[in-house]
Structure 1
Amino acid sequence: MADAIVTTEDGFLGGQLRLRQPKSGHRAGHDAILLAAATSAQAGHKVVDLGSGVGTAGLALARRVSGVSLTLVEIDPQLAELARENAAANDITADVVTLDVASSADIFAAAGLPQDSADAVLMNPPFNDPARHRASPNKSREIAHVATEDTLPTWIHAARRLLKSGGVLTLIWRADGLADVLAALERGFGSVAIMPVYGDIAAPAIRVLVRAMKGGRAPAAIEPGIFLRDANGAPDLHIQQVLAGQAALAWASL
């Protein structure tokens, strides 16, 4: 029997979302909220958050867009249970599935996630480069943070299988791994759009938000970037509004 997780309760979206999450190990932050703020969905849409952790990105999206049919997919049973509790505590309806993203189509279908069923998939996969990231003695933390060479192809394959034709995948990844993202999207996806995320105005991008359509045919586009801090080094006002749940990113209304 696994040891109980020591948790904290933290506010997101300016307190609109209260989440319990592990005190140590993988903890939710800006990436999950930016991902949710970049994901387009409408009431009635089937939305799947792959690798949801305690549910941060999916629940933040559901808080912004009422009426979505949300499924949170998480491999760690303890995090999945926290996601289930967080959905209930915030009065958000969500199915929570304890499942490895690498599972077969049959296993996904048995869990209520058949092929060609989702309108939108969002994901924040493990993305640290193992060559530059010291392995953690906490195995769940390592799984949540460290990518292997198969991580992106496996996760994007799962998203492609779940999505309807014309369905949209939105993901966040480290900026220096953009080439790997584009390579993994070559099969089955098009209409790729890239939104760089900069820590400040004078430094290279630290993250990329990427949006791709299953079966899309539009040419790739690099969208205007977003900056966490302005030219004076102060928190960017628009991004502060996004993080506080008072605004969304441009893609959210597509």
Structure 2
Amino acid sequence: MKYLKDLEVKEFTFFGGKVRFRQPKTHRLSVVEVLFISNLKGIKRKSKVVDLGAGFGTLSILTSLRYGCEVWALERDTHMLELLDYNVRINGLEDKVHIVEGDVRFVEKFMEKNSFDVALLNPPFFPKSYGFESNKFHFEVDTQLTDFIRAVKYLLKDNGKLNLLYTTFRCVEAILILLNNNINPFYLRIFYPKMDKNGKFLHIYGVKNRRGNTVIEKPLIINKDDGEYTKEVKSVLESFL
């Protein structure tokens, strides 16, 4: 893989060998992403799904495997595109996961408006001002959350659904951006590392051009005090695929 010579990668199997990922050492599949996918809303087998900023394919591949839907995986980074292509092929999903090379900031130039039922979004959440020497994939370099949400608004049909995984420390900002783009947050669920810790991640489920009340769902606690996964997390991991 010619573009990966400067990126340290390893290949792993997950879920009893049912899925394989070749992934960067500094940007790996996490239990938070698995929990997010297990909690997705609004997806059916016939849904047309778009994953914006697909990376090496975590959301696209696992969503397609779990829900049986087709996913269009949008990515612009050359390193990630090579990993994404490899991971789609090694998991036999060439007919289910469609790779789209492009920049979310200019999505109207190469994708059709109002064409998707569901959008998945797990964007970089640290502002560029925080510095990104160690892992650029978690930092906003030249694309901000506003750019991603504008692309979601463009791509989703009326009443189309968005599942957004984001950081809690930018919760208010995220909700305001969604509302400014006519995407109403219907459900929010916060992921907590432990019962006595502050929430770290937030799953927002929103619907385009639809009004309604917002439900704050029960918290998702990942680890018990002894470091073991909670009963809910173990159940998700055991039955995921």
TM-score, length-normalised on structure 2? 0.89
Is 1:105 the counterpart of 2:108? The answer is yes
Deviating beyond 4 angstroms after TM superposition, the runs of 4 or more aligned structure 1 residues are: none
Alignment partners' CA distance in 2, 1:55 and 1:77 = 13
Is 1:82 the counterpart of 2:83? The answer is yes
Contact 1:80-1:97 at 8 Å conserved across structures: no
Alignment partners' CA distance in 2, 1:203 and 1:42 = 34
1:21 aligns with 23
Is 1:57 the counterpart of 2:59? The answer is yes
Deviation sequence 1:66-120 (CA, Å, 0-9, x none): 2x1211111112211211211111112211112111114123x2xxxx1111111
Q: 1:148 to 1:217 in 2, by over 3 A?
A: farther
1:182 aligns with 175
Correspondence for 1:118 among 116, 119, 127: 116
Alignment partners' CA distance in 2, 1:3 and 1:15 = 24
Matched residues, number:
235
Could you list the runs of 5+ residues in structure 2 that have no partner in the other structure?
Answer: none
Q: Percent identity?
A: 24
Amino acid at match of 1:228: I
TM-score, length-normalised on structure 1? 0.85
Please report how far the alpha carbon of residue 150 of structure 1 lies from its aligned counterpart in structure 2 after TM superposition: 5.9
Q: 1:240 to 1:27 in 2, by over 3 A?
A: same
Amino acid at match of 1:183: L
Deviation sequence 1:168-194 (CA, Å, 0-9, x none): 100111111100110111121114211
Q: 1:106 to 1:201 in 2, by over 3 A?
A: same
Is 1:95 the counterpart of 2:89? The answer is no
Amino acid at match of 2:121: M
What are the residue-to-residue correspondences of 1:126-165 with 2, within 5 Å?
A: 126-131=124-129, 133-136=130-133, 141-142=135-136, 144-147=137-140, 151-165=144-158
Alignment partners' CA distance in 2, 1:6 and 1:233 = 29
2:33 aligns with 32
Please report how far the alpha carbon of residue 49 of structure 1 lies from its aligned counterpart in structure 2 after TM superposition: 0.9
Contact 1:190-1:213 at 8 Å conserved across structures: yes
Contact 2:190-2:203 at 8 Å conserved across structures: yes
Please report how far the alpha carbon of residue 48 of structure 1 lies from its aligned counterpart in structure 2 after TM superposition: 0.8
Amino acid at match of 1:152: L
Deviation sequence 1:12-63 (CA, Å, 0-9, x none): 344321111123x322312322232222311121111111111011111111
Contact 2:184-2:210 at 8 Å conserved across structures: yes
Is 1:43 the counterpart of 2:38? The answer is no
Could you list the runs of 5+ residues in structure 1 that have no partner in the other structure?
Answer: 249-254
The two structures, once aligned, show a CA RMSD in angstroms of 2.1
Amino acid at match of 2:236: V
Q: 1:237 to 1:16 in 2, by over 3 A?
A: farther
1:169 aligns with 162
Please report how far the alpha carbon of residue 247 of structure 1 lies from its aligned counterpart in structure 2 after TM superposition: 4.5
